[in-house]
Chain A
């Protein structure tokens, strides 16, 4: 059952990155869109993600619940030493979530919209940036459980080049996912071209940010190169991701939306796979070489069994309903648009 739980944890993180990420990305794209087109982007986005918006963010909750029920030491260690970035991320989640619903459900449409929009866009950048910082800090080995002063314990645990680079990388990936997703959601050629251009830019930025991550790792003496290229799975996954990048660029010029989406999702999956594979089962590295492991720091067998069954049972209900939701709105859209 332990492995079932771990698979669910990994899958929820992946799905949060893909679905929640595209959702954040839509806000990021909106921020980097010229004033003139912002409204269009916004409408396309609302049409595209409105119905599944709530559901996209449930993956984060599932991951957190799995952590605190199944791996309480991992949850509490991160909560204590990454308190500050977690709070900032939460502020981002609050601001973004509420601004999204305010701007879509406010009964009066007036200047308030400008405020909602601005909050929504900035929070869409800040939140994934800090999510990236938190993820980076987990594996950077800077969390010092023996620190004696505030800065060492609660600030330098997360504030270093490596985590900042991962933060930027996460933002770029979210933007990229959103742009690719939105290409297929527009109803006119002009917007389509716009999103294709955005997808290109954000893809280039993601590649640059990815390179930055390697540089930062080198600066911070984190053996990232060895993690990624030191094993067959890592090399294969990165190789496949790079190959698919070529294909992706080719397709961007030929506009095959469905395959594009699959490719973008595939690349992000490969990146997550590479970075987690080498670490497994140690997902939190502490200063001085100690670590917290998904296998050794898991809860007792009975709890894991109960959690595993709860998750399996849950997916029997959730997955079909979720697919049907997405399916019906896809169908509805195509019947409206064409």
Chain B
């Protein structure tokens, strides 16, 4: 049996391609990667009217067949049948924005010259009508010489007609593409696109466009910035507030699983491996899922509505100061919740050097996993003194830690752009799409994919790492009367590490705590708790009593140094693993590990010495 013919979905950015892909394939999608490049391959199955299956692949949006990013190169290679690991498409569905034919038809014309059978989806026809445009799809079809189907992908309209048209151009799926025509230059293609656009337009009534009205407020230099700050404030509140309950459920269910295994198995190394290694390790990752989903819910919503491009527009000036552009703003912002989705979101940055810089500084944004550590140390060592005007000393220290991360990122970005990630200061050029109501089904599909990617990629690696850490902490078995933690390999490594970290004010217990914190930062809290042998299952209880314990054992300079360490240290191996994925090799993750450790060491040291000199 022949495999289902491959049909590629191509079009300009903002043509509504992803919504059309979702409308045609539903939730039957597979997300993978093209071999050798970090470009996502999204494919799905759909059936034609006669029941024949077709494999549909969603190609990255591009303005022409001359690529300016790795994503766009994949699009060119796939449609030309030159992409490794991909069959030559039997037909193309070219998505054009009905409200922007002048521009989108140019790319459609370029694709037509390839000689592959194609269908044009005249998408967002409702928005074009809202803007006062009346189009004639038949006239457009005559001019282009290919079937044209009006569609509204976000409302799932025109899908049956599109399937019928696809069936008619596919034939039996065995036709060879006609010989490609001589490639025309962009200016002449543009002229032809304009002429065809005029021929297909029945009438145009000028209307006051809704998008322009919204933009006059949203892009206003003062009001726009206030709206941006407010929106992201709400977003972060939600990330923390809404995630509290689901995080509790996840923790409870993992604790229940641990209790169940403990009861079901006899005391053995296997049980310890499952309970303390596998379940605890996987649990420590899955616990981030609610925050990641809430964050991506907002990001997908803001993206689908068209607001994200505006945020990039407003922030470009600020980002330009450190050699980046407005597009880097969103990934960095996401990194305040968690660097993993942040690094994944850098795919929208077209300049490879700027993307690399953004990936490398993302871990400096204070992620939510640092919060338990900050909370314990600040609670124990910083008095809750009121400084007046409603500002508390504890809050001020919190803010200072966030600020330290941001300033560090600014400095590092500036240096990287002058050294290892030096590149032409590629400008900021971005289309500001029309606003539109997002489709919740599209958002849900996007969320599902993010969740799956996160759990599968970060989950497998972190599980191996936690098992390794468990082994380091469990072997060799301590003889009676000696502490297992101290006697274990990890304990011995900590003794070695102590020599290195003593100059910056760290003691033996701290050296031991930063080792398991490599898996996830907040583990430092439970590790310290274990080391100071406080038996308590309730986390808040542990934090309180741990705080009192620490007060007696650590000096203030030591505590401050520990906080500064956590601002900079690359203490989460999932992030490093995602970095490896996104940069396609070990070079940059190792570089990041190195510079972040150096920075953490210097910052913690400077804090310790300064605080000691000041007699704190």
The answer to whether A and B assemble together is no
Residues of B within 8 A of A (CB): none
